Structure 1
Amino acid sequence: MIKKQFLKSKPVCKATFTLPLEAAPEAKKVSLVGEFNDWDVTKAIPLKKQAKAGVFKALVELETGKAYEFRYLIDGETWENDWDADAYVATPFGEENSVVVALN
């Protein structure tokens, strides 16, 4: 699930990305990789594990008026889409990427 908060003072969308426990029950580390960090795993945004619920979360500031493709990288080896993404886009690799739309 992606929760969005739009700032009135500047064109920024604060997006909270959440990977549910069911998507990666054994995960030790989850990162967010996408167009906002040039798909560079060395610039991946780490998600923090929420001890109580077991979910992983990260807050990312996105420029409004754009759509961004992304995926979660679990333990550095398994890719997972966001189950509640705004949309999905086919890739040349025969898979799909999740899409978050930062429109107010």
Structure 2
Amino acid sequence: MSIKKKFLKTKPVCKVTFTLPAEEAQSAAVVGNFNEWNTEATPLKKLKNGSFKGTVDLESGNSYEFRYVVDGKYLNDQEADAFAWNDYANAENSVLSL
């Protein structure tokens, strides 16, 4: 798993690229408070090497909670900036600080 951040100089936006190795998976998406936890809003594209990848533009200066959904199962990114407990999900979410 990896997260790459590219801050734009002309706008208060950060392009965040999520990469998730999941060769056996059929589908993957990233969900979070930036897309209302909608599992269909930000699908990741499967690459030839078997990993999934996608880029999201997020406003700089904020923190975002997120998780991956791989074949219907929720996963955290171990490279996240932090983790936050979520009572609704009864689990930890990954946190991205921009």
Normalised by the length of structure 1, the TM-score is 0.86
**2:96 aligns with one of 91, 95, 100:** 100
Letter in 1 for 2:7: F
54, 67, 72: which one pairs with 1:71?
67
Unpaired runs of 5+ residues, structure 2, are none
Instruction: Give the number of the structure whose residues are more often helix, by fraction.
Output: 1
1:50 to 2:51 alignment: no
Q: Structure 1: state its 5+ residue gaps.
A: none
Mapped partners of 2:24, 2:40: distance in 1? 22
Instruction: Give 1:49 deviation, angstroms.
Output: 1.3
1:91 Cα deviation after fit: 1.0
Give the counterpart letter for 2:53 in structure 1: K
Shift of 1:18: 1.1
Alignment of 1:1-104 (within 5 A): 1-21=2-22, 25-43=23-41, 45-52=42-49, 54-75=50-71, 77-92=72-87, 93-102=89-98
Give the distance between the partners of 1:96 and 1:42, measured in 2 at CA: 21
Mapped partners of 1:28, 1:68: distance in 2: 26
CA contact (8 A) 2:29 2:40 kept: no
Write out the 4+ residue segments of structure 1 that deviate beyond 6 Å after TM superposition.
none
Q: Deviations over 1:78-98 (max 9, x none)?
A: 001112111110110331001
Q: How many residues were matched structurally?
A: 96
Post-superposition CA distance 1:44-87 (Å, at most 9, x none)? x01011212x2111010000000000001112x20011121111
Identity %: 51
Aligned-pair distance for 1:26? Answer: 1.8
